[in-house]
Amino acid sequence: MAAVGSAVGLGNIWGFPFRLGAGGGFAFLLVYLILVVFVGYVVMLGELTIGRKTGKSTVHAYVELSKKYKAIGFMGIVSGFCILAFYSVLGGYVMKYMFGFLMEMFRGDNFGGMSSGEYFDNFLGNVGQGTLWFVVFQAITILIVMGGVAGGIEKFCKIAMPALVVMLVIVIIRSVTLPGATEGLAFMFKPDFSKLATFSDFMGVLRSAAGQMFFSLSLGMGCMITYGSYLSKKESLQFNAMFIPIADTTIAILAGMAVMPAVFALGFEPGRGPGLLFVTLHGVFMSMGGFIGPFFGFFFYLLVTIAAVTSSISLLEVCASYVIDKRIIEGKEPNRRKYTIMIGAAIFVVGLPISLDGLGAGIMPALPESLGWVWLELYDFIAEGVLMPLGALFMSLIVGWVMKKSFGEEVRLEGNKFGTESFVMICAKYITPIAMTFILVTQVMDFFGM
């Protein structure tokens, strides 16, 4: 459940719908689901197993397998830094919306008469306010990790996650009953292969779906190695590696069904990019009218904030646990508080350009036009686009070609079943490495405009 708490977050609610919109709906969904089965499941099982076998967090787990693998662990920490930097900025936006709907419940002035788009643009342009919410979100993450109360949060999560599902269902009902909404459902579920017609279209969708999958399942950066290290030997790794992706993907699809019908019904552009969730759902809640709209809006964003925090603490934990474990191994006082604050503060500095950029509406200089990105997308590219596929590539090679039989032995401990062993080994040896190499090569070619 703790791992589900890490996996379910902004990746599902914010990332999945906007990438689904940009990736042509059905085409993206299809490629995403295939990737979850052939890559996600395998990498999830690989990370959980390496974690449980070594009993260590990312870097130290790889070192335990072999000193040569240390760099793979470090890549995970860099990914964690990049992701948490933009994650906290977005978490701040979610909190701003939560607060906005709370105010609206009492004021009831239709957000000062502003449309969804105007309200969002107005907020983004106000980088001081965006940065303030970024600080608030980051501070909450630091305080929880510092206090080591993450266990308490996970208990809380057992109520918040089902509540989030109920809330998503309420939003879906409202969204699909808006006039013109069926087009959005058709966009998601009606087979349409035109977006995959050429090789370059296909690679574009594959890259975006793969990045989204790593991000959403918290894979490719060793986060699940840390969670695996807490699993008891009795626990079935195979079951966990199936359950986490199924729960995560279900919530992502629900979020897609909440957003996409409304995108079409309210006349937004599905490929609008990272602002899609905020603008669209604002429209959905306001269409509920009166007090009830802002009321649901407030609860929805409260639950999304909780989901985001249970993910952001795992991101900070990946970075902080490296330093803390290192000190324990060196026989020094771990000093959890001090190192968590220091790392959290460093991530704040790294994230500042993203918050000052305000998804392109702020005061940061624009990135080269050839890239066509806002600053958030640059960080996203470094982590999801390069480091995570690279991490998954190395990890599957280790599982398939180095650990081989000893991998299966760990999974089968205490009489646990491993019926998918041949499938996992074929994927780890060939399918995942080939898919990741393709993704990385075309990613680099695309970046350099080749």
Size of the site for ligand PFF (CB under 6 A): 16
Site string for ligand PFF, 160-199 (x = CB under 6 A): ----------------------------------------
Q: Which of residues 317-336 bind ligand PFF (CB under 6 A)?
A: 318
Residue 311 found at the interface with ligand PFF (CB under 6 A) = yes
- Count other Cβ atoms within 10 Å, centred on residue 235: 15
> How remote is the C-alpha of 414 from its chain's centroid?
33
In the block, tokens 């393709």 appear at: 438
Smallest gap, in angstroms, from Cβ of residue 13 to ligand PFF? 8
Place of tokens 């989204």: 212
Q: 243-271 burial by CB neighbour count: b if 16+ within 10 A, else e?
A: ebbebbbebbbbbbbbbbbbbbbbebebe
Cβ proximity to ligand PFF: between 61 and 318 the closer is: 318
In order of 26, 65, 168, 354, 437, the CA distances from 252 in angstroms are 14, 34, 10, 24, 26
| Torsion sign across C-alpha atoms 144, 149, 150, 156 | negative
3-state secondary structure 376-421: HHHHHHHHHHHHHHHHHHHHHHHHHHHHCHHHHHHHCHHHCCCCCH
Binding mask 41-80 for ligand PFF (x = CB under 6 A): ----------------------------------------
- Identify which of residues 82 and 188 has a Cβ nearer to ligand PFF in the complex: 82
Q: How far is CA 51 from the centre of its chain?
A: 20
Radius of gyration of the chain (CA): 21
Interface pick for ligand PFF out of 223, 247, 251, 286 (rule CB under 6 A): 223
Selected binder of ligand PFF within 236, 314, 340, 443 (CB under 6 A): 314
CB of 438 to ligand PFF, least distance (A): 22
CB 83 → ligand PFF: shortest distance, Å? 5
What are residue 401's phi and psi, to 5 degrees?
Answer: -110, -20
Judged by CB under 6 A, which of 187, 215, 299, 375 binds ligand PFF? 215
State the binding string over 1-40 for ligand PFF (x if CB under 6 A, else -): -----xx-xxxx----------------------------
Residue numbers at the binding site for ligand PFF (CB under 6 A) = 6-7, 9-12, 83, 215-216, 218, 221, 223, 311, 314-315, 318
